[in-house]
């Protein structure tokens, strides 16, 4: 694996190539709202530990590479203080050069992490339209003790972020797209910041995941038309002026060949001057102007996420799409096709439109055909069944043409739940913005017993649990009854596993997986994913220490004869007594440290809501 300098050179190459990719067809960019993009990069000390591969450097180069010419962008860094090494400006070759000269500023690590101050500062600058903040962080708030006693000062900042700042930014037209670089991050914070402001949230632990996350964000901000790419084949129609193929592959894969409709074969080292072809160990980037009409083929490995963007007079449009979908709730969608800004003639060129929901692996979860209605096409996509990152894929097919548009979304449960065993209860909170105690009642079922949820806030409930056997894992089935617009519906929530570490499991089949975050409640405790690695190490040490007595008994029972012989031979040796005294002293120190840690950090386990 190359060292940091080698990775940086590779990412610079990737950045320049992707900048070329983004600038191939600037006519595709929708400029109605003139959005600007503000990259906010964490340079705190925790990032040094949680981002050992320096993905933040890769992220910067990827993002500036993907921004189209003419967009407005700037870069902020933060730790204990906030800096703006690259102020807002128009993205062009000069801006790109300044951006790619920034890596030293991204490695000037600071001791603390003030996410709240960074977002306030980056959002402050004026904008001509919507502001998109792209937050790159490990998500751990860690303020200087000079600001107050810890951890109270950190928790207060987290509450302000979620309860006040996120709402204020959303009201001011600021969207936060948040990317976490570590599974040890406060993923719930990252997810909530994005959800509250209409942005996307992702966990990127490798370069491939990072590139995918940034492609999703840029396609959200600057939607682009594509033609479908299936099994290495795609069709170019007479309205296409230029196509750009971004084809991912592995470094050891065989070279790619592009085959035109007339059978002409193009390779990177033999392409004519009109075709711009760049080869990187992990991707090929090909721009073909005035392409032949018909089916083109890619011969060679075509990796997941490869795509064909087109510059064309024919556009697939969609109505505004939410960035967050919810389990149990259908998704209304609307799309249409335009030629040179005018809707297609419904009688002569009536296209068929469809939309599908695909999971992060590209598997289709649901698909519907849209029906024409007053010049547009509308429908309701079935409610998502799985949480996590997903994509809405729109496709239009008409006489002699195909278009595709992809928009990333996050899928969350409509109501989140967390098990609090020390308190003997389950706490629930509405994730869907239109659910509250006024229109929603919740009950659970535990081994045939019905348990009613009690409302304790506008969108918060509590279920008191009976006495449970700690050695037994069992599922709590949760059901919400919702009344909206004169209709009553029953929504089954993801089951919650109680005592998941129990030795015996009861009916644990089909237990749901995790979303991005593990704890999402206002003012609540952070989930296990956001606990420092030191605590995890301490927990393992405590568990080991708790097992010492039984291990000692076993060793004694196995070695009594030998110990007796040792005593008879050396009981007068002062070195033996010194060793015994040292062992006793160590045991007393360990016992004191364990008691002190238990007093400062009481055992607490918070389970994911899904």
Q: Does 456 share its domain with 343?
A: no
Q: Does 214 share its domain with 324?
A: no
**Cα 254 from Cα 267, distance rounded (Å):** 12
Q: Does 280 share its domain with 399?
A: no
**Among 489, 504, 519, which residue terminates a domain?**
504
| pLDDT above 90: percentage of residues in the chain | 39
C-alpha torsion angle, residues 556, 557, 559, 560 (rounded to 10): 90
**587 domain residue, yes or no:** no
What are the tens digits of pLDDT across the range 469-512? Answer: 877 888 999 999 999 888 899 998 888 888 876 555 444 333 33
Q: What is the CATH number of the domain that holds 331?
A: 2.60.40.10
CB 292 within 8 Å of CB 262: yes
CB 506 within 8 Å of CB 474: yes
Strand, coil or helix: what is 591? helix
Does 597 score more than 60 pLDDT?
no
**Among 504, 528, 562, which residue terminates a domain?**
504
Q: Does 301 share its domain with 328?
A: no
What are the tens digits of pLDDT across the range 174-219? Answer: 999 998 877 777 888 888 899 999 999 998 877 777 778 888 898 8
Confidence at 55, pLDDT banded by 50, 70, 90: low
Contacts for 561 with CB less than 8 Å, ≥ 6 apart: none
**583 domain residue, yes or no:** no
Of 130-144, 383-397, 486-500, 529-543, the least confident: 529-543
CB 36 within 8 Å of CB 56: no
Q: Does 122 share its domain with 247?
A: no
Q: Does 72 share its domain with 211?
A: yes
Mean pLDDT over the full length of the chain: 78
Q: What is the CATH number of the domain that holds 458?
A: 2.60.40
**Cα 114 from Cα 120, distance rounded (Å):** 10
Q: Does 406 share its domain with 370?
A: yes
**Cα 489 from Cα 440, distance rounded (Å):** 10
Q: Does 349 share its domain with 246?
A: no
**Cα 60 from Cα 7, distance rounded (Å):** 13
For CA atoms 432, 434, 436, 440, the dihedral sign is: negative
**281 domain residue, yes or no:** yes
Q: Does 283 share its domain with 378?
A: no
**Cα 35 from Cα 450, distance rounded (Å):** 51
What are the tens digits of pLDDT across the range 72-119? Answer: 889 999 989 999 999 888 888 888 888 878 777 666 778 888 999 999
**29 domain residue, yes or no:** no
Q: Does 212 share its domain with 266?
A: no
What are the tens digits of pLDDT across the range 152-180? Answer: 999 999 999 998 999 999 998 899 999 88
**284 domain residue, yes or no:** yes
Looking at residue 595, what is its pLDDT?
Answer: 57
**482 domain residue, yes or no:** yes
**327 domain residue, yes or no:** yes
Query: Residue 594 has which token pair?
Result: 């364990």
Q: How many domains does the chain have?
A: 4
**Cα 163 from Cα 186, distance rounded (Å):** 16
More confident residue, 58 or 538: 58
**Among 482, 504, 526, which residue terminates a domain?**
504
Quick one: which of 487, 574, 606 has its CA closest to 188?
A: 606
Half-sphere exposure of 186 (CA within 13 A, CB side): 22
CB 443 within 8 Å of CB 479: yes
Q: Does 267 share its domain with 404?
A: no
Q: Residue 79's domain spans which residues?
A: 36-221
Q: What is the CATH number of the domain that holds 91?
A: 3.40.50.410
Q: Does 46 share its domain with 172?
A: yes
CB 141 within 8 Å of CB 186: yes
Confidence at 59, pLDDT banded by 50, 70, 90: low
CA-based diameter of the chain, in Å?
A: 108
Phi, psi of 228 (to 5 degrees): -60, 140
Highest mean pLDDT pick, 61-70, 232-241, 592-601: 232-241
Query: Residue 452 has which token pair?
Result: 């009613």
**307 domain residue, yes or no:** yes
Looking at residue 600, what is its pLDDT?
Answer: 47
With tokens 């083109």, the residue in question is 296
Query: Residue 62 has which token pair?
Result: 């990827």
E strand or H helix at 248: strand 240-248
Looking at residue 45, what is its pLDDT?
Answer: 72
Burial (Cβ within 10 Å: 0-12, 13-18, ≥19) of residue 584: exposed
Contacts for 461 with CB less than 8 Å, ≥ 6 apart: 427, 428, 429, 437, 442, 453, 454, 455
Burial (Cβ within 10 Å: 0-12, 13-18, ≥19) of residue 378: middle
């Amino acid at each position: 694996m190359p060292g940091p300098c080698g990775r940086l050179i590779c990412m610079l190459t990737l950045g320049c190539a992707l900048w070329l990719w983004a600038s191939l067809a600037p006519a595709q960019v929708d400029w109605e709202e003139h959005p600007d993009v503000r990259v906010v990069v964490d340079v705190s000390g925790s990032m040094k530990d949680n981002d050992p591969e320096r993905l933040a450097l890769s992220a910067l180069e990827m993002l500036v590479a993907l921004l189209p010419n003419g967009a407005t962008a700037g870069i902020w860094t933060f730790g204990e203080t906030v800096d703006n090494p690259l102020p807002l400006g128009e993205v062009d070759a000069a801006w790109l050069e300044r951006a790619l000269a920034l890596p030293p500023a991204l490695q000037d690590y600071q001791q603390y992490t003030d996410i709240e101050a960074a977002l306030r500062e980056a959002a402050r600058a004026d904008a001509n339209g919507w502001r998109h903040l792209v937050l790159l962080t490990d998500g751990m708030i860690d303020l200087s003790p000079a600001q107050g006693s810890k951890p109270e000062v950190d928790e207060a900042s987290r509450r302000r972020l979620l309860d006040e700042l996120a709402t204020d930014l959303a009201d001011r037209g600021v969207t936060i797209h948040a990317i976490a670089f570590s599974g040890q991050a406060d993923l719930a914070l990252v997810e909530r910041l994005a959800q509250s402001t209409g942005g996307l949230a992702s966990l990127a632990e490798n370069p491939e995941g990072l590139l995918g996350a940034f492609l999703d964000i840029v396609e959200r901000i600057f939607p682009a038309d594509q033609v479908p790419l299936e099994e290495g084949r795609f069709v170019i129609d007479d309205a296409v002026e230029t196509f750009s193929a971004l084809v991912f592959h592995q470094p050891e894969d065989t070279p790619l060949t592009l085959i035109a409709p007339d059978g002409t074969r193009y390779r990177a080292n033999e392409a004519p001057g009109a075709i711009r072809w760049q080869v990187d160990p992990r991707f090929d980037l090909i721009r073909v102007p005035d392409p032949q009409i018909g089916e083109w083929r890619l011969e060679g490995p075509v990796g997941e996420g490869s795509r064909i963007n087109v510059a064309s007079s024919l556009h697939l449009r969609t109505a505004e799409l939410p960035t967050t979908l919810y389990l149990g709730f259908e998704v209304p969608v609307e799309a249409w096709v335009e030629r040179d800004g005018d809707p297609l003639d419904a009688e002569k060129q009536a296209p068929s439109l469809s939309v599908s929901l695909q999971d992060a692996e590209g598997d289709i979860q649901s698909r519907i055909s849209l029906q024409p209605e007053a010049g547009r096409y509308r429908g309701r996509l079935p409610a998502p069944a799985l949480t996590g990152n997903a994509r809405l894929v729109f496709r239009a097919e008409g006489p002699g043409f195909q278009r595709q548009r992809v928009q990333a979304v996050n899928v969350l449960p409509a109501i989140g739940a967390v098990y609090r065993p020390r308190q003997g209860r389950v706490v629930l909170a509405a994730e869907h913005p239109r659910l509250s105690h006024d229109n929603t009642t919740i009950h659970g079922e535990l081994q045939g017993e019905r348990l009613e949820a009690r409302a304790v806030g506008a969108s918060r409930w509590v279920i008191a649990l009976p006495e449970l056997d700690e050695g037994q894992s069992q599922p709590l089935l949760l059901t919400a009854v919702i009344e909206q617009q004169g209709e009553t519906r029953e929504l089954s929530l993801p089951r919650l596993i109680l005592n998941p570490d129990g030795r015996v499991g009861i009916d644990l089949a089909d237990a749901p997986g995790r979303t991005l975050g593990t704890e999402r409640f206002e003012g609540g405790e952070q989930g296990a994913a956001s606990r420092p690695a030191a605590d995890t190490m301490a927990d393992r040490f405590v568990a080991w220490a708790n097992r010492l007595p039984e291990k000692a008994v076993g060793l004694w029972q196995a070695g009594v004869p030998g110990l007796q012989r040792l005593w008879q031979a050396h009981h007068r040796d002062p070195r033996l007594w010194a060793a015994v005294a040292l062992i006793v002293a160590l045991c007393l120190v360990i016992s004191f440290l364990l008691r002190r840690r238990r007093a400062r950090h009481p055992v607490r386990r918070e389970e994911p809501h899904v």
